[in-house]
Amino acid sequence: MSYLVSGKCLCGEIKFTGNTEIKRVANCHCKDCQQITGAAFATIIFVKEEEIEISGSPKVFFHHSDRGSKLEKRFCGNCGSPMFALNHTRPGILGLRAGALDQKELVKPVVNVYLDSKIKTTPLNEDLVSFQKMPE
């Protein structure tokens, strides 16, 4: 099922919109997501990159996962809002940051990943499938 998704950064310089199928919504508790969001975990909505139109010019930061995957983070260079994530081992899939999404009702996580680095005091939805690391 396709949904209209849209969103923007805090200052409105970077915006996105598109009709897309939501592939998965995940809570990632890895240390990288904790650092990039400044929060206990990141909630990411995975969609087809080709179905999302981005206006503005996000800044880009590259790094590697613990498995060696090349990861790309896109954020607003003005207000610093994290906006998008890409994993180069999963071409064509774009991660939208849940906090930037206008349609908050679409934020329905189905999985927790990297529980081995979860902050111990962070509440966890026990109904979600969970993994200590990133599943294969």
User: CB-side exposure of 85: number of CA atoms within 13 Å?
Assistant: 26
Q: pLDDT, tens digit, for every residue of 120-129?
A: 999 999 999 9
Domain-located, residue 127: no
Model pTM score: 0.93
In the structure, what pLDDT confidence band is assigned to residue 97 with cuts at 50, 70 and 90?
very high
Q: Which of 3-17, 65-79, 96-110 has the lowest mean pLDDT?
A: 65-79
Domain-located, residue 136: no
Total tally of structural domains belonging to the chain = 1
Q: pLDDT, tens digit, for every residue of 17-36?
A: 999 999 999 999 999 999 99
Q: Which residue has the tokens 């915006």?
A: 15
> What DSSP element (H or E) covers 8?
strand 2-8
> What Rg do the C-alpha atoms of the chain give, in angstroms?
14
Per-residue pLDDT at 56: 98
Domain-located, residue 124: no
Inform me whether the pLDDT recorded for 12 exceeds 90: yes
Domain-located, residue 73: yes
CATH code, domain with 27: 2.170.150.70
| 8 A C-beta contact, residue 67 and residue 79 | no
Residue 83, Ramachandran bin (φ over 0: left; ψ between -120 and 50: alpha; else beta): alpha
Domain-located, residue 56: yes
Per-residue pLDDT at 67: 80
Strand partners, 69: none
Domain of 35, in residue numbers: 2-118
Q: Which residue has the tokens 């508790």?
A: 29
Domain-located, residue 125: no
What percentage of the chain reaches a pLDDT higher than 90? 92
Residues 6+ apart with CB under 8 A from 101: 5, 6, 7, 45, 107
Nearest to 74 by CA among 63, 65, 85, 64: 85
Domain-located, residue 30: yes
